[in-house]
Amino acid sequence: MSRAVSALEGASHKGFVEVAEAGLVGMITLRGDLSSAKMKAAVKAATGTAIPAPRRIVTEGDRAAAWMSPDELLILVPYAEAPATVAALDAALAGEHHLAADVSDARAVFRVRGAKADEALMKLCPVDFATLEAGEIRRTRAAQVAAAFWRSAGDEFTLVSFRSVAGYVMGLLEVSSRTGSELFPA
Amino acid sequence: MAMKRYSVFAIAREAMSYHMGWERAWRSPAPKRKYDAVIVGAGGHGLATAYYLGKNHGLTNVAIIEKGWLGGGNTGRNTTIIRSNYLQDPSAAIYEKARSLYETMSQDLNYNVMFSPRGLLMLGQTEHEVRGYKRTVYANNLQGVSTEWISPRRVKELVPIINIDGPRYPVLGALYQARGGTARHDAVAWGYARACSAMGMDVIQQCEVTGVRTEAGRVIGIDTTRGAIDCDKLGMVVAGHSSVLAEMAGFRLPIESLALQALVSEPIKPCMDVVVMANTVHGYMSQSDKGEMVIGGGTDGFNNYTQRGSFHHIEETVRALIETFPMISRLKMLRQWGGIVDMTGDRSPLISKTPVEGIFVNCGWGTGGFKAIPGSGWAMAELMARGASPLAEEFSMYRFREGKFIDESVAAGVAH
Amino acid sequence: MLILECPCCGVKAEETELTPGGEAHLKRCGPGSTDDEFDGYMFARANPRGVHFERWRHAYGCGKWFLAARCTATLEVFGTYPAQSKQPPAELQAKIKARRPGWEGWT
């Protein structure tokens, strides 16, 4: 078996906030009818959560379910459990039109940690941070690439991008979090 | 009414009377009730059309109607580039006709249009682009248009501020048109307006067309905010507003109107004396006589008639050019604006008869109108006066239904 | 900047998150239509200076298509509505008429 590595193997930078690649994270794209009984049961079994409301991420320990579009969820699990979770989802949704794909290796995950974490992202994303709601996952762009982020802790954002642009995203985060470049000093 | 010729003798003569004797460059008459031909749109194309109707075809009972001030549309908003390095034969013919008319325009119009054949480069920054432009060079040489393919080293000689070793978009060479360049856009409109006025044509500004009158499928006149005007022939030369006018006459055009934005930097010392287009990254740049770097990029993606800039365009356009021109990252950008460009599906113009007899349309120049002004006017005048023009033949609005596209999406530069 | 509220996910998206998609409600003319009809469908566009109904895709968001009513002269957005709509919803048309009394209405 090959040794799995994340895109940047945990690289990090410290500026006015700390930005770090989060290493291996299990991610599954799940498409189907989000209102069906089978879907509710399948997601509950995989993550321990209910189907999230539009633009919400619901977390249960080290697992989560995030709403991506009216017919798509992002399921987050420990990396090693992704293949088994896909199999379980397929079994639970058998007979219903659906897609469960392991995209863990197609993505890169970043943690942006600090009191001014939102300022680092404000420079990159055309998002009104003042109106972000609790538990919201926001898909948008970070400079020139697609990205999704949510507030994963009081002073932490988690951001997901495609693996192929991980270096670019790390560059964006490192530059935008450089000490002295805070948007609203003090 | 002969206009007083501009010349060094005129300056000397007028200096004797404290320059109190200079005449207005054009008259501002009230509209007459009828003209043989009415041109709607006093931009470069409309004024050139009227001028050549007079000069080439002896038709001088002409009015040019303008809803704003003459030259205030795209003619006053473009980045003044003149070139003729297109791919298809019909395009080469009309753009080269235009370019060659620019060479003598100041003398022909007795008005300094500041034609500057400083040279134009289209950079090849990917293998694909290199192949595309080499093909264009071969086509140009067959068409009698003088362009050549030059090496990265030669590019660096012509453009000292360029970075040819960019990691993402290295300069692999360039298509070079030595006699391409720029001219002063406003002066082109003013020069044609002065000449038209001197021929007895009426340039009528602040006069908006509110309706087109037809009878039995033939045009009989227009309604305007300054009254009704009758005509035997009507030329619609209003660029981005062509659909608005066409709708008044009861037909639709295969165009969509989008904003094309441009910006200028603060003035700096002369650092670039050619025009450079970097089409892979969607940006182009030249330096004006005032020292400003004049920068343009791609169009907006959605229809709009706003004639103004938007903030993300500054970022996207400048970002595109920074690897190739690192110094612009230090420049303050001074001013941004937009025009309304009418885009056709094949990025080639419409110089055409229409479903209404006597109505002719000249539009669809998209992002490439300024360079074409004299050639466009020449062809449109011939079409209106004689009913056909070899230069305009392939640019009929009916070419789309027959699949006879003049596909210039590559040569049109940033038009896509 | 232009802001459109995506009716599929609710995000008030700034134009750089979106991809424009041209005029909405085109009547598709395929095999069996006349040359004039096919030519009109493929190439003729209203291109109005004023109220315009158009398609957009939430490319950097939920990815879905939707429709919008917008003024091409001022960029005022009157509203957004589902891509499956055969015509602009009645309430949206009423709202546009109230904002633009001179609007000739939906045809």
Query: What pLDDT digit, counting tens, does each position of A58-74 carry?
Result: 999 999 999 999 999 99
Rounded-to-integer distance, Cα B75 and Cα B239, Å: 10
Which class for B346: exposed (0-12), middle (13-18), buried (19 or more C-beta within 10 A)? buried
Nearest to C8 among A70, A126, A141 (CB): A70
The 10s digit of each residue's pLDDT in B77-136 is 999 999 999 999 999 999 999 999 999 999 999 999 999 999 999 999 999 999 999 999
Q: Which residue of B has its CA nearest to C16?
A: B312
Span A146-172, pLDDT tens digits: 999 999 999 999 999 999 999 999 999
- Inter-chain CB pairs, B–C, below 8 Å: 68
CB of B65 within 8 A of CB of B40?
Answer: yes
Partner-chain residue, chosen from C22, C43, C74, that has the shortest CB–CB distance to B254: C43
What pLDDT score was predicted for residue B2? 58
User: Cα(B64)–Cα(B238) distance, rounded to whole angstroms?
Assistant: 11
A53 → chain C, closest CA residue: C9
- Rounded to 5 degrees, what angle do the CA atoms B331, B336, B341 make? 135
Look at B401 and C36 and tell me if their CB atoms are within 8 Å: yes
Conformational region of residue B129, where left means phi above 0, alpha means psi within -120 to 50, and beta covers everything else: alpha
At residue B125, the pLDDT reads: 96
- Find chains touching chain A: ≥3 CB pairs under 8 Å: C
Measure in Å the smallest separation between the Cα of A1 and chain C Cα atoms: 35
Task: Kindly report the number of other CB atoms within 10 A of residue B293's CB atom.
Answer: 25
Type and span of the H or E element at A109: strand A107-113
**In B, which residues are within 8 Å of C15 by CB distance?**
302, 310, 312
Give the separation between CA A152 and CA A135, rounded to whole angstroms: 8
Q: What gap in Å lies between CA A158 and CA A166, rounded to an integer?
A: 14
* Contacts with A125 (C-beta within 8 Å, 6 or more apart), sequence order: A138, A140, A141, A142, A147, A149
E strand or H helix that includes residue B11: helix B8-16
Q: Are A23 and A9 in contact (CB under 8 A)?
A: yes
Domain count, chain C: 1
Average pLDDT over chain C reads: 96
- Non-local (6+) Cβ contacts of B323 within 8 A are B163, B166, B167, B168, B169, B281
Residue C107 confidence (pLDDT) above 90: no
Q: At what angle do helices B185-198 and B44-57 cross, to 10 degrees?
A: 40
Using CA atoms, how far residue C97 sits from B61, C51, C68, C78, in Å, is 43, 10, 15, 10
Is residue C82 in a domain?
Answer: yes
Domain holding C55, by residue range, is: 3-26+34-99
What CA–CA distance (Å, rounded) separates B88 from B140? 9
C10 CB neighbours in chain A (<8 A) are 54-55
B-chain CB neighbours of C51 within 8 Å are none
> Taking the domain A12-178, which CATH number applies?
3.30.1360.120
| Whole-number average pLDDT of chain A | 97
Is residue B287 within 8 A of residue B293, CB to CB? The reply is yes
Contact (CB<8Å) A70/C64: yes
Neighbouring C-beta atoms of residue C32, cutoff 10 Å: 7
Residue B334 contacts residue C53 (beta carbons within 8 Å) = no
- Report the distance separating Cα B412 and Cα B87, nearest Å: 9
Neighbors of chain B with 3 or more C-beta pairs under 8 Å: C
CA–CA distance, B146 with B22 (Å, rounded to integer): 40
**Cβ–Cβ gap A55/C9 under 8 Å:** yes
The complex's ipTM works out to 0.93
pLDDT number for residue B1: 47
Alpha-carbon distance of A68 to A74, in angstroms, equals 6
Give every residue of chain B whose pLDDT is below 70, as ranges: 1-3, 413-416
Partner residue opposite C47 with nearest CB, options B256, B301, B311:
B256
CA closest to B346 among chain C residues: C43
Q: Residue B260: what pLDDT?
A: 94
- Interchain contact, C17 vs A55, CB within 8 Å: no
CB C49 within 8 A of CB C72: yes
Integer angstrom CA distances of residue B283 from A61, A170, B84, B279, B324: 49, 26, 18, 6, 10
DSSP state at residue A2: P
- pLDDT at position C49 is 96
Closest CA to B362 of B249, B251, B241, B248: B241
Q: Which 8-state DSSP code applies to residue C65?
A: E
Q: What is the mean pLDDT of residues A40-67?
A: 97
pLDDT for A23 beyond 90 = yes
**Cβ contact A69–C14 (<8 Å):** no
- From chain B, pick out residues whose CB is under 8 angstroms from the CB of C54: 302-303
Determine the Cα–Cα distance for residues B413 and B83; give it in Å rounded to an integer. Answer: 11
pLDDT band of A1, cuts 50, 70, 90: low
Q: Looking at the complex, does the CB of residue A98 fall below 8 Å from at least one CB of chain C?
A: no
Phi, psi for residue A128 in degrees, rounded to 5: -85, 95
CB B250 within 8 A of CB B356: yes
Buried-state track B238-275, b at ≥16 Cβ within 10 A, e below 16 = bbbbbbbbbbbbeebbbbbbbbbbbbbbeebeeebebb
Chains touching C (at least 3 CB pairs under 8 A) are A, B
List of chain C residues whose C-beta atoms are within 8 Å of the C-beta of residue B305? 49, 72-73
Q: What is the pLDDT of residues C32-68, one digit of tens each?
A: 999 999 999 999 999 999 999 999 999 999 999 999 9
Domain ranges of chain A: 12-178
Residues of C in contact with A138 (CB under 8 A): 11
C88 belongs to a structural domain: yes
Cross-chain residue pair B303–C43, CB shorter than 8 Å: no
State yes or no: pLDDT of C88 exceeds 70. Answer: yes
Q: Is the pLDDT of residue A95 over 80?
A: yes
Residue with token string 């805070």: A182
Q: Answer yes or no: is C107 within a domain.
A: no
Cα of B251 to nearest chain C Cα, Å = 9
Say whether A158 sits in a helix, a strand or coil.
Answer: strand
Contact assignment for C62 to A139 by CB distance below 8 Å: yes
Q: Cβ of C1 and B312 within 8 Å? A: yes
* pLDDT for the residue numbered B356: 98
Mutate to test the interface with A, among C8, C9, C18, C58 (most CBs of A within 10 A): C9
For residues C58 and C7, the answer to whether their CB atoms sit within 8 Å is no
Check if the beta carbon of residue A98 is closer than 8 Å to that of residue A86. Answer: no
pLDDT of amino acid B182: 97
- Name C30's Cβ contacts closer than 8 Å, sequence gap at least 6: C38
State how far residue A147 is from chain C, nearest Cα, in angstroms.
8
Contact C49 B244 (CB under 8 A): yes
Q: Report the distance separating Cα A55 and Cα A148, nearest Å.
A: 11
Where are the alpha helices (H) located in B21-143, listed in sequence order? Answer: 44-57, 89-103, 105-109, 127-143
Q: Is residue C104 part of a domain?
A: no
CB contacts, 8 Å: C39 with chain B: 400-401
Hey, is the C-beta of B68 within 8 angstroms of any chain C C-beta? Answer: no
Q: Do C73 and B311 touch (CB under 8 A)?
A: no
DSSP reduced 3-state for B315: helix
CA atoms within 13 A on the CB side of A61: 7
Distance from CA of A140 to the nearest CA of C (A): 5
In a domain, C8, yes or no: yes
Chain C residues closer than 8 Å to A54 by CB: 9-10
CA distance B376 to B239: 12
Question: What integer pLDDT is reported at residue B348 of this predicted model?
Answer: 97
- CATH value at residue C22: 3.30.2270.10
Is it the case that residue A105 has pLDDT exceeding 70? yes
To the question of pTM greater than 0.90 for the whole model, the response is yes
